[in-house]
Protein backbone atom coordinates (compact mmCIF):
# COMPACT_ATOMS: atom_id res chain seq x y z
CA UNK A 1 0.00 0.00 0.00
CA UNK A 2 1.22 3.46 -0.80
CA UNK A 3 1.21 6.32 1.68
CA UNK A 4 -1.85 7.83 -0.01
CA UNK A 5 -3.74 4.52 0.21
CA UNK A 6 -2.93 4.27 3.92
CA UNK A 7 -4.18 7.80 4.51
CA UNK A 8 -7.38 7.13 2.59
CA UNK A 9 -7.96 3.93 4.53
CA UNK A 10 -7.33 5.70 7.84
CA UNK A 11 -9.71 8.49 6.88
CA UNK A 12 -12.38 5.98 5.88
CA UNK A 13 -11.99 4.12 9.17
CA UNK A 14 -12.42 7.37 11.07
CA UNK A 15 -15.43 8.55 9.08
CA UNK A 16 -17.50 5.37 9.25
CA UNK A 17 -18.24 5.60 13.00
CA UNK A 18 -18.84 9.33 12.75
CA UNK A 19 -21.30 8.98 9.91
CA UNK A 20 -23.15 6.15 11.62
CA UNK A 21 -23.54 8.43 14.65
CA UNK A 22 -25.63 10.73 12.45
CA UNK A 23 -28.46 8.20 12.40
CA UNK A 24 -31.76 9.84 13.28
CA UNK A 25 -33.67 8.88 16.40
CA UNK A 26 -36.42 7.52 14.17
CA UNK A 27 -33.99 5.31 12.25
CA UNK A 28 -32.45 4.12 15.51
CA UNK A 29 -35.86 3.25 16.94
CA UNK A 30 -36.80 1.35 13.79
CA UNK A 31 -33.52 -0.58 13.99
CA UNK A 32 -34.37 -1.44 17.62
CA UNK A 33 -37.69 -2.96 16.55
CA UNK A 34 -40.14 -0.15 17.31
CA UNK A 35 -43.07 0.12 14.93
CA UNK A 36 -43.01 2.73 12.17
CA UNK A 37 -46.06 4.42 13.71
CA UNK A 38 -44.44 4.65 17.16
CA UNK A 39 -41.12 5.93 15.79
CA UNK A 40 -42.87 8.52 13.61
CA UNK A 41 -45.05 9.61 16.52
CA UNK A 42 -42.02 9.86 18.80
CA UNK A 43 -40.16 12.00 16.28
CA UNK A 44 -43.15 14.32 15.81
CA UNK A 45 -43.71 14.55 19.57
CA UNK A 46 -40.05 15.28 20.18
CA UNK A 47 -40.07 18.17 17.71
CA UNK A 48 -43.16 19.54 19.44
CA UNK A 49 -41.72 19.03 22.93
CA UNK A 50 -38.53 20.88 22.05
CA UNK A 51 -40.57 23.70 20.58
CA UNK A 52 -42.82 23.88 23.62
CA UNK A 53 -39.83 24.19 25.95
CA UNK A 54 -38.12 26.80 23.82
CA UNK A 55 -41.25 28.70 22.79
CA UNK A 56 -40.42 28.34 19.11
CA UNK A 57 -43.95 27.69 18.04
CA UNK A 58 -43.26 24.69 15.78
CA UNK A 59 -45.75 21.95 16.53
CA UNK A 60 -45.88 18.69 14.59
CA UNK A 61 -48.73 16.28 15.18
CA UNK A 62 -50.75 14.29 12.70
CA UNK A 63 -54.03 14.65 14.57
CA UNK A 64 -56.11 12.18 12.51
CA UNK A 65 -53.41 9.52 12.93
CA UNK A 66 -52.98 10.44 16.62
CA UNK A 67 -56.69 9.85 17.21
CA UNK A 68 -56.80 6.55 15.31
CA UNK A 69 -53.40 4.89 15.86
CA UNK A 70 -52.48 4.11 19.46
CA UNK A 71 -48.86 3.35 18.50
CA UNK A 72 -48.44 6.81 16.94
CA UNK A 73 -50.22 8.45 19.89
CA UNK A 74 -48.07 6.63 22.46
CA UNK A 75 -44.91 7.50 20.54
CA UNK A 76 -45.97 11.13 20.20
CA UNK A 77 -46.75 11.44 23.92
CA UNK A 78 -43.44 9.79 24.90
CA UNK A 79 -41.44 11.92 22.49
CA UNK A 80 -43.13 15.13 23.60
CA UNK A 81 -42.57 14.49 27.31
CA UNK A 82 -38.99 13.30 27.01
CA UNK A 83 -37.80 15.99 24.62
CA UNK A 84 -39.61 18.78 26.47
CA UNK A 85 -38.07 17.64 29.77
CA UNK A 86 -34.62 17.41 28.20
CA UNK A 87 -34.91 20.88 26.64
CA UNK A 88 -36.19 22.35 29.93
CA UNK A 89 -33.30 20.78 31.85
CA UNK A 90 -30.80 22.26 29.38
CA UNK A 91 -32.38 25.71 29.71
CA UNK A 92 -32.32 25.48 33.52
CA UNK A 93 -28.70 24.32 33.49
CA UNK A 94 -27.70 27.32 31.39
CA UNK A 95 -29.54 29.70 33.71
CA UNK A 96 -27.86 28.39 36.85
CA UNK A 97 -25.02 30.56 38.08
CA UNK A 98 -21.61 28.92 38.08
CA UNK A 99 -20.51 27.56 41.42
CA UNK A 100 -17.32 28.75 43.10
CA UNK A 101 -15.74 25.41 42.16
CA UNK A 102 -16.66 25.90 38.50
CA UNK A 103 -15.18 29.38 38.44
CA UNK A 104 -11.99 28.20 40.19
CA UNK A 105 -11.61 25.31 37.76
CA UNK A 106 -12.14 27.61 34.76
CA UNK A 107 -9.61 30.10 36.16
CA UNK A 108 -7.05 27.30 36.65
CA UNK A 109 -7.57 26.03 33.10
CA UNK A 110 -7.11 29.55 31.73
CA UNK A 111 -3.91 30.04 33.74
CA UNK A 112 -2.51 26.67 32.66
CA UNK A 113 -3.30 27.48 29.03
CA UNK A 114 -1.61 30.87 29.31
CA UNK A 115 1.51 29.25 30.78
CA UNK A 116 1.56 26.59 28.05
CA UNK A 117 1.15 29.17 25.31
CA UNK A 118 3.80 31.39 26.88
CA UNK A 119 6.30 28.51 26.85
CA UNK A 120 5.52 27.65 23.23
CA UNK A 121 6.01 31.29 22.17
CA UNK A 122 9.41 31.45 23.93
CA UNK A 123 10.59 28.35 22.04
CA UNK A 124 9.75 29.77 18.62
Q: Please tell me the predicted confidence (pLDDT) of residue 116.
A: 85
**What is the average pLDDT value for the chain, to the nearest integer?**
82
Q: Please tell me the predicted confidence (pLDDT) of residue 18.
A: 47
> Which letter, b or e, does each residue of 82-118 get, where b requires 16 or more Cβ atoms within 10 Å of its Cβ?
ebbeebeeeeeeeeeeeeeeeeeeeeeeeeeeeeeee
pLDDT digits (tens, 9 = 90+) for 13-50: 555 554 445 678 889 999 999 999 999 999 999 999 98
Q: Please tell me the predicted confidence (pLDDT) of residue 101.
A: 85
Q: Please tell me the predicted confidence (pLDDT) of residue 36.
A: 95
Task: Report the predicted TM-score, pTM, of the whole model to 2 decimal places.
Answer: 0.58
Amino acid sequence: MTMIDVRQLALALLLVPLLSACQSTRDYMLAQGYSVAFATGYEDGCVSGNSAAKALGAFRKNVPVYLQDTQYATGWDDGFRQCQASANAEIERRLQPDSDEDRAWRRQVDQDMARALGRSLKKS
